[in-house]
Amino acid sequence: MLIETSRTNKTPTATPLLFLLRLPPLQAIYQTPKLKVRNTLPRWLLPLKHFHKHLAAMAEDGAVTLYKATSITDAKKNSFSIKAGLAQMLRGGAIVEVSTLSQAKIAEEAGACCLVITEPNRQGISRMPDPSIIKQIKRCVLIPVMARSRVGHFVEAQILERVGVDYIDESEVLAIADEDNFINKHNFGCPFVCGCKNLGDALRRVREGAAMIRTQGDLLGTGNITETVKNVRSVMGEIRILNNMDEDEVFAFSKEIAAPYDLVAQTKQMGRLPVVHFAAGGIVTPADAALMMQLGCDGVFVGSEVFDNGSDPYKRVQGIVEAVRHYNDPHVLVENSCGLEEEMAGLNVSEETMEPFGEGGA
């Protein structure tokens, strides 16, 4: 029974369950700076005092907050370590770019660890994908889903986070919304991916809250891996230089590359970037993917051009996935590279678009 009658005065007495209804609002209790539990709670709730003190401490730390003004996010609720851990789940995998449901299913069956959803051949200014496409693909696949937002366009990022994507790529592949500022990624609960061309770019993006770094090469989808190799070697070469530096030289080096000193010191201590490092651009064969892995990357992005040519995109995507997993096994690489010449015919770069070797400052 919820109400019982006292034997002495016959007046109804509320049980502890009903008394809960007369307690102050939980929000008011949790946000009290110095909560005096004995003056707030009855004796039968005193065993919970440590729990309520814990909640009060959470309130002081910002764990219980209200939206302020026009802000719809709270940096104190979005731990960077959690987002970095979510990005770590993608290590050793291939992230495949798709624009249709059929492509998404092929990539999932071929073993992709994540999907990047893009607009199919949009003319003019490139923007974030249509949320309806994201929802449609999310309903039909079980692997994580990533979507791109324009650089500096935090409202697009808010929309993508609300739609429910697992990762957001603040991508220079799309049109740039803000030429001077990147998104403050600490304001979001969703992990962000950002591009770079050198170590300074990478560490500045990490300071802004990026949980994954993508070394970007070719942006045109031509299958040319030259720029990607150049940028990956640049990042890895600077890390090797940093590792061989004396501790006193790190200050000047961080100033030279315009990166935060604490992240530069952490990179030196770890011998690698402090977050997951992928490569993107021109990766269309198993050999390309294995090359990026052997250069020190944690995984690769595969462009949608692998779906545009040939008759068996499943075989191509599966070959790249296997090459990422077994990048040091030549037998697996040979097996997955056989029979792909015709499939890759449409991705060959013409001589007119190639810069002759030895020119351009090489």
Pairwise CA distance, residues 281 & 89, whole Å: 21
Q: Is the pLDDT of residue 26 over 60?
A: no
pLDDT value for 310: 64
For the chain, what are the domain ranges?
77-341
Q: Which of 80-94, 170-184, 214-228, 314-328 has the lowest mean pLDDT?
A: 214-228
* 198 vs 74 pLDDT, higher one: 198
- Give the range with max mean pLDDT: 15-19, 34-38, 138-142, 346-350: 138-142
> Across the chain, what does the average pLDDT equal?
78
Residue 120's pLDDT band, with cuts at 50, 70 and 90, is: confident
Structure tokens at 301: 């992005």
**pLDDT score at 78:** 63
What is the percent of the chain with per-residue pLDDT over 70, rounded to a whole number? 70
Note the pLDDT of residue 312.
84
Handedness of CA 201, 206, 208, 209 (dihedral sign): positive
Could you read off the pLDDT of 288-297 as tens digits, one per residue?
Answer: 999 999 999 9
Q: Residue 1 pLDDT more than 60? A: no
Question: What are 128-180's pLDDT values in tens digits?
Answer: 899 999 999 999 999 999 999 999 999 999 999 999 999 999 988 888 888 88
Encode pLDDT of 302-360 as tens digits: 988 888 766 788 999 999 999 999 999 999 999 998 877 655 555 554 444 444 444 44
282 pLDDT band (50/70/90 cuts)?
confident
The Cα 126–Cα 134 span in angstroms is 16
Alpha-carbon distances of 332 from 177, 318, 319, 323, 324, rounded to whole Å: 43, 12, 9, 7, 10
CATH superfamily of 77-341: Aldolase class I (3.20.20.70)
Residue 182 has pLDDT above 90, yes or no: yes
Question: Residue 116: its pLDDT value, please?
Answer: 95
Specify the higher pLDDT residue, 355 or 188.
Answer: 188
Residue 150 is predicted with a pLDDT of 92
Is the pTM higher than 0.85? The answer reads no
d(CA 328, CA 251): 36
Q: What is the mean pLDDT of residues 20-29?
A: 42
Please state, as a whole number, how many other Cβ atoms lie within 10 Å of the Cβ of residue 118. 24
Q: Is the pLDDT assigned to residue 188 strictly greater than 70?
A: yes
pLDDT, position 272? 94
pLDDT digit string, tens, across residues 92-117: 999 999 999 999 999 999 999 999 99
For residue 218, the model assigns a pLDDT of: 78
**CA geometry: angle at 331 spanning 330 and 337, to 5°?**
85
Please determine, for residue 88, whether its predicted confidence score (pLDDT) is greater than 80.
Answer: yes
Whether 123 shows a pLDDT value over 70: the answer reads no
Does residue 52 carry a pLDDT above 80?
no
* 55-66 burial: b if 16+ Cβ within 10 Å, else e: bbeebeeeebee
- Structure-model confidence comparison of residues 279 and 358, the more confident one: 279
- pLDDT at residue 343, as a whole number: 54
